[in-house]
A and B are shown apart, each in its own frame.
Chain A
């Protein structure tokens, strides 16, 4: 009976092989880059086209190329002129005057004037908008526009950090007419170096250069963002020259990128990996217990074991201009003897402390490994971490309700240390319940920082805040990870930024 059947099987097999091989016909792996359009692969799509409500960084990155802000950040995150050419605080830091850049046009051709600034800021201030940036500019009491190129913000209290808030995409300038019509929600129209062209959700978002950009015509004819959900596949697409830049966060994947004219730019992020302690839960209300934890944790080891050493040990402030010096903290190197002394002084000579610790899975790759590393280290001084691994939704709810003794967290950083921490560590901060710590001393220091516009003096104040936070053992700041930009060697003049902005695409060329 065998022969006929085997022949038929053979036919089936040949058929299968044909189906498989026919797909290869006409393969041309190398694709040429048409007209200098840079294709960027990333794992997720934008989730909104409204710059003032954008929270996910894909949306922030993309809309940051389309929209402009009054002031901008350079590669060191220092504030430089944007749509405003100059600005001035009054002596009491309660009035801020902007002179706008003349002859700036929106991408639809309409001129940019002070009326657009007022409309944009008022939209953010309107609670019904539910804009993210509202809390950062809530100090604005009124806005006056004495001329088309002059805007005056009247502030309730001294508020120097508002300048950094106005460099954020969430305070992007929309056109007053667009705000009226709501058109920008589906067709963005900004003053940035690239204009919106088309969007196929979950696939591709296309931008073309804005030839009338006030900063000069960008060399790239266009930028395309392509969604490739899996980071390994992003690297594969890069190797196959389907994309010329890949945005990657997993260090394991970043290490796969090598050879073939590819390189990886490593940019320390502003966000920080931290062990948050709820200092209002006994026995964490005792400073010595917290310091014992500080001294028992080997941050470098956590970084090495959880994140393959891909990152930098950090103190509280991660912004380059104000960066904390981690060697000035209590126990810059782990010291178990000292840790045990602290515990004994707090009344726990044998440890015996258990901390319910929440850990998030799914949002970032290293959380569980960090938790296990910290758990092993604290076990050495008799502190037990009871790890509760939660999905993102549950984690966020427990986090917001401060329903934890300790939390392994990856918290977002900010350009200005005031914006970064005032919500956590002042007694009236809206995340103070989560932070679990406040003191009159910190309240005073933060108030001083807000009223001081001299950069050197500000820096001194935030150094002191950083020292206070670590001296009190408020949280255990561990490390900042890298953002990876895997690029083809043809990509030139691109500068990554700590806030993940892609703004330097405006000067990038494809060689």
Chain B
């Protein structure tokens, strides 16, 4: 898990790195936005190169994937014909630039075995993933912040121990165990498994859709709740020890007002950062949960395409995910302006 890293960066935010001195320079935000966009584009170019290279480094090409050991029965002429069809007989440069060129002109390519366009596949898969990520993030944030508040209210007390234990448990139980357990137990005891049915989009059947999203969103929500809880706890404890909190108490403000208005308000930046990061990850597709609950999301699309070595599908889908991730990060940064008056003022 990358959790400790994430927590470290969240902690840095609490310590004031991101709201440090350079935020006071008026021109910097404009600079920063431009720089941010340039960096985003550079990131996307980097992602495109990385995914292109990694796909070609992993052993096996489309022919091997389609034929397995049967590839040995192909004649050289057949092999050449297939290599030409899949476009893997061309130089890597030509493969990369023809792909990136068509992406720039709005053509994400097609899956060569199924003759489906990546754009149409993504159009049907992306909404599923976005909905799942949203639901999981909402559930996880609510539960995580609530637990974090509970734990922070008495550092090292009983509540803290309970809250922390729940957080640790949620971090330690892998999604596939929890997911499989839910699927098995609920189906065996109640003969209930909405995900066995045909997938329904919210606009087709809201009730069926919600049933199909319930368990996967819960499983992912628990995974989101744990780091959010830990971030909330540490941020709350840190902010609660600041002078202005003591002042607020001294003014005679009600404890609840101090907690929600002064402490939580100021602890919000690391929490939002953490939620943003988690949401970004979920947009990349919760592959395992999508597998267990048969949700036709973006994670499964990439996984299947990797197995089939459908290069265009993997490359373009990963690029779409990267764009989504970059957008979420930008949004997270904009949220800072909204919740932190110091940022807004500039």
Q: A9-B149, A47-B113, A239-B187 are in contact. Are A393 and B60 (CB under 8 A)?
A: yes
Q: A9-B150, A201-B121, A228-B196 are in contact. Are A45 and B73 (CB under 8 A)?
A: no
Q: Which of B72, B193, B210, B211 interacts with A237 by CB under 8 Å?
A: B193
**A236 & B183 in contact (Cβ 8 Å cutoff):** yes
- Of the candidates B72, B116, B293, B304, the one having the most CB atoms from chain A within 10 angstroms of its own CB is B72
**B142 & A15 in contact (Cβ 8 Å cutoff):** yes
A contacts with B: majority SS: mixed
CA distance A185 to B111 in the complex (A): 12
B contacts with A: majority SS: helix
**B149 & A23 in contact (Cβ 8 Å cutoff):** no
Contacts of B308 in A (CB 8 A): 47
**B256 & A30 in contact (Cβ 8 Å cutoff):** no
Contacts of B145 in A (CB 8 A): 12
**B198 & A233 in contact (Cβ 8 Å cutoff):** no
Minimal Cβ-Cβ distance residue in A for B184: A232
CA distance A432 to B286 in the complex (A): 43
Type the 1/0 row for B187-207, where 1 means its CB is closer than 8 Å to any CB of A: 110111111111100000001
Q: Does B327 contact A (CB under 8 A)?
A: no
Which of A210-218, A395-403, A491-499 has 4 or more CB atoms under 8 Å from chain B?
A: A395-403
**B142 & A12 in contact (Cβ 8 Å cutoff):** yes
Q: Which of A12, A45, A204, A260 interacts with B146 by CB under 8 Å?
A: A12
**A128 & B66 in contact (Cβ 8 Å cutoff):** no
Contacts of A201 in B (CB 8 A): 114, 116, 121
**A20 & B218 in contact (Cβ 8 Å cutoff):** yes
Contacts of B197 in A (CB 8 A): 31, 237, 242
CA distance A130 to B190 in the complex (A): 49
**B210 & A233 in contact (Cβ 8 Å cutoff):** no
Interface residues on A, range: 35 or more
**B153 & A5 in contact (Cβ 8 Å cutoff):** yes
Q: A12-B142, A239-B193 are in contact. Are A55 and B183 (CB under 8 A)?
A: no
Least Cβ distance of A161 to chain B in Å?
14
Chain B contacts with A in 326-341, Cβ cutoff 8 A: none
Q: Does B67 contact A (CB under 8 A)?
A: yes
**A240 & B254 in contact (Cβ 8 Å cutoff):** no
Q: Does A1 contact B (CB under 8 A)?
A: yes
Q: Does B13 contact A (CB under 8 A)?
A: no
Q: Does B214 contact A (CB under 8 A)?
A: yes
A-B contact count (CB 8 A): 204
Contacts of A15 in B (CB 8 A): 142
CA distance A47 to B308 in the complex (A): 8
Contacts of B64 in A (CB 8 A): 393, 396-397
**B143 & A229 in contact (Cβ 8 Å cutoff):** no
Q: Which of A48, A128, A229 interacts with B291 by CB under 8 Å?
A: A229
Type the 1/0 row for A115-139, where 1 means its CB is closer than 8 Å to any CB of B: 0000000000001111110110000
**A430 & B72 in contact (Cβ 8 Å cutoff):** yes
**A230 & B294 in contact (Cβ 8 Å cutoff):** yes
**A227 & B256 in contact (Cβ 8 Å cutoff):** no
Which of B20-28, B76-84, B96-104, B269-277 has 4 or more CB atoms under 8 Å from chain A?
A: B76-84
CA distance A226 to B200 in the complex (A): 13
CA distance A396 to B213 in the complex (A): 38
Type the 1/0 row for A26-59, where 1 means its CB is closer than 8 Å to any CB of B: 1101110000000001001111110000011000
Q: A5-B149, A5-B256 are in contact. Are A130 and B82 (CB under 8 A)?
A: yes
Q: Does B1 contact A (CB under 8 A)?
A: no
Interface residues on B, range: 35 or more
CA distance A130 to B196 in the complex (A): 37
Chain A contacts with B in 228-268, Cβ cutoff 8 A: 228-230, 232-243, 256, 260
Q: Does B69 contact A (CB under 8 A)?
A: yes
**B188 & A239 in contact (Cβ 8 Å cutoff):** yes
Q: Does B127 contact A (CB under 8 A)?
A: no
Contacts of A129 in B (CB 8 A): 81
CA distance A49 to B111 in the complex (A): 12
Q: Does B54 contact A (CB under 8 A)?
A: no
Contacts of A202 in B (CB 8 A): 125, 296, 300-301, 304
**B192 & A240 in contact (Cβ 8 Å cutoff):** yes
Type the 1/0 row for B168-199, where 1 means its CB is closer than 8 Å to any CB of A: 00000000000010011011101111111111
- Of the candidates A9, A201, A236, A239, the one having the most CB atoms from chain B within 10 angstroms of its own CB is A236
Q: Which of B60, B74, B143 interacts with A130 by CB under 8 Å?
A: B74
Q: Does A13 contact B (CB under 8 A)?
A: yes
Contacts of A22 in B (CB 8 A): 210
CA distance A24 to B222 in the complex (A): 19
Least Cβ distance of B159 to chain A in Å?
10
Chain B contacts with A in 104-121, Cβ cutoff 8 A: 113-116, 121
Least Cβ distance of B309 to chain A in Å?
8
Q: Which of B82, B192, B292 interacts with A27 by CB under 8 Å?
A: B192
**B191 & A239 in contact (Cβ 8 Å cutoff):** yes
Q: A16-B139, A128-B81 are in contact. Are A230 and B113 (CB under 8 A)?
A: no
**A134 & B180 in contact (Cβ 8 Å cutoff):** no
CA distance A45 to B301 in the complex (A): 11
**B184 & A411 in contact (Cβ 8 Å cutoff):** no
CA distance A135 to B79 in the complex (A): 13
Minimal Cβ-Cβ distance residue in A for B258: A1
Contacts of B199 in A (CB 8 A): 203
Q: Does B91 contact A (CB under 8 A)?
A: no
**A47 & B73 in contact (Cβ 8 Å cutoff):** no
Q: Does B133 contact A (CB under 8 A)?
A: no
CA distance A134 to B187 in the complex (A): 46
Minimal Cβ-Cβ distance residue in B for A9: B146
Q: Does B259 contact A (CB under 8 A)?
A: yes
Q: Does A327 contact B (CB under 8 A)?
A: no
**A55 & B68 in contact (Cβ 8 Å cutoff):** yes
Minimal Cβ-Cβ distance residue in A for B249: A1
**B116 & A1 in contact (Cβ 8 Å cutoff):** no
Q: Does B166 contact A (CB under 8 A)?
A: no
Q: Does A90 contact B (CB under 8 A)?
A: no
Contacts of B142 in A (CB 8 A): 12, 15-16
Q: A393-B65, A394-B60 are in contact. Are A135 and B73 (CB under 8 A)?
A: yes
7 pairs, CB–CB < 8 Å, chain A vs chain B:
A5-B256, A30-B191, A47-B113, A48-B114, A55-B70, A134-B75, A135-B73
5 A-B pairs closest in CB distance: A1-B255, A237-B196, A393-B60, A242-B196, A236-B187
- With A203-B296, A229-B291, A240-B187 given, can you name 18 additional A-B contacts, CB distance below 8 Å? A9-B150, A23-B214, A24-B211, A27-B211, A45-B304, A46-B114, A129-B81, A130-B78, A200-B296, A226-B196, A233-B183, A233-B292, A237-B197, A240-B191, A240-B194, A393-B58, A399-B69, A434-B72
